Amino acid sequence: MTTPLPPKTVLQDRYRIVELIGLGGMGAVYLTEDLHLREKRFALKEISYSAHADPQVQSQLREQFHREAIALANLDHPNLPKVFDYFSQDGRDYLVMNYIEGPNLKELLDQARKRGQLLAESQVLEWADQICAALIYLHAHSPPIIHRDVKPANVKLASSNVIKLVDFGLVKFFDLGDPSTITLVRGVGTPTYAPMEQYGAGTGRTDARSDIYSLGATLYHLLTGRAPADAQQRFLEPESLPGPRSLNPRISALTEYLVLKAMTIRPDDRYQTIQEMRKDLTMARNLSLGRRTQDRLALIWSSLVPHKWLSLGVLALFLLALLMTIAQPEPIF
């Protein structure tokens, strides 16, 4: 694992590290201050490489990083962070992007679980729609950009209920001249949310359907409160993945269907595009909103039951007064 840089370290004579935000096997994320812009704060994504890696491989990876950084800097979407700068220093590569304040969805799920609750299906599906919008935008590029690490901890809830899909540490371009994208040394994503094709000790092959699997696994976790079994375990033990409705009976059958379809082991059996998945998500969300309205009406009615005759009497008087008002002739001036 990479040794994190200490606070107050200054990179490029510009970015001063405030604190470590996250740490992983391939690098770290820091909160930094920009000394050139009145100490404006950014998130600094660090990508490091093994000191024992072949120099030629390291050179190829660094070239790949620069190509990806240029593409990321050109991205502009409300559900993605904005990349402002990139550079290399001391054998590490860095992306500078806007710092997204607010909790990630894993934190929101953990908070709900501590209260003995699950996240509302309608809320999860609203977030999912925004994630889909970000992925549609990424996949529409030429060549398509594959995120490869969609998971609850990489989805942040910013102000005004706006979702931001963060962490581009595993982003990959899809080569249209080759039916699949070959991953070299960047890693395979988080096993719980990664499809089988991202495994393979550097031989994993991915395309846009890999993000579909990861989104399905993310929704499974958010809706049930339980992280799904990883793809390798599921391949060996298909029964290791309980149906979402067995863990949360309030989930609609349509939502369960689309989550499981997105998480199919074989890519050809999944949704083939995020657009297809988003269409079913929209249907499931509308059903969920309708059911939530029915639940609220039922709750209001149940609260009036002890006084139902009084409530009905008040309602009858209101309707009578309304009818009399409508029936009165308008004055003639």
Determine the average pLDDT of the residues in 272-289. 92
Distances (CA, A) of 267 to 212, 230, 246: 9, 15, 25
Please check the confidence at residue 9 and state whether its pLDDT lies above 90: yes
Q: Of 149, 167, 207, 211, which residue is the catalytic one?
A: 149
Which of residues 179 and 149 earns the better pLDDT score? 149
Provide the percentage of residues in the chain whose pLDDT is more than 90: 53
Give yes or no for a contact between 71 and 141, defined as CB atoms under 8 angstroms apart.
yes
Which of residues 145 and 48 earns the better pLDDT score? 145
Residue 57: predicted pLDDT:
76
pLDDT in tens, 227-237: 999 998 999 99
Lowest mean pLDDT among 56-70, 72-86, 182-196: 182-196
Mean pLDDT of the chain: 82
Q: Which two tokens stand for residue 62?
A: 């660094």
- Tell me the domains of the chain and their CATH numbers: 10-98 (3.30.200.20), 105-290 (1.10.510.10)
The CA-CA-CA angle for residues 178, 133, 151, to 5°, reads: 75
Q: Which two tokens stand for residue 70?
A: 């240029």
Please check the confidence at residue 196 and state whether its pLDDT lies above 50: yes
Give yes or no for a contact between 208 and 147, defined as CB atoms under 8 angstroms apart.
no
Determine the average pLDDT of the residues in 43-49. 85
Alpha-carbon gap, residue 27 to 25, rounded angstroms: 6
* Exposure class string for 242-268: b at 16+ Cβ within 10 A, else e: eebbeebeebbebbbebbebbbbbebe
pLDDT in tens, 100-155: 989 999 999 999 999 999 999 999 999 999 999 999 999 999 888 888 889 999 99
Alpha-carbon gap, residue 191 to 168, rounded angstroms: 17
pLDDT in tens, 308-323: 555 556 556 655 655 6
Q: Which two tokens stand for residue 94?
A: 């860095």
Backbone conformation region of residue 201, classed left if phi is above 0, alpha if psi is from -120 to 50, else beta: left
Determine the average pLDDT of the residues in 52-70. 79
Residue 202 pLDDT class (50, 70, 90 cuts): very low
Give yes or no for a contact between 168 and 150, defined as CB atoms under 8 angstroms apart.
no
Provide the percentage of residues in the chain whose pLDDT is more than 70: 76
Q: Where are the beta strands (DSSP E) in the chain?
A: 10-11, 15-24, 27-34, 40-48, 83-89, 92-98, 145-146, 155-157, 163-165, 172-173, 181-182, 205-206
Lowest mean pLDDT among 31-45, 176-190, 314-328: 176-190
Q: Is 149 a catalytic residue?
A: yes
DSSP codes joined into one string, 288-324? HHHHHHHHHHHHHHHHHGGGHHHHHHHHHHHHHHHHH
Give the amino acid at 298. A
Q: What is the dihedral of CA 120, 192, 215, 213, to 10 degrees?
A: -140
Please check the confidence at residue 170 and state whether its pLDDT lies above 70: no
Q: Which helix (H) or strand (E) holds 263?
A: none
Distances (CA, A) of 62 to 48, 72, 115, 205, 233: 10, 15, 46, 20, 34
Alpha-carbon gap, residue 150 to 155, rounded angstroms: 8
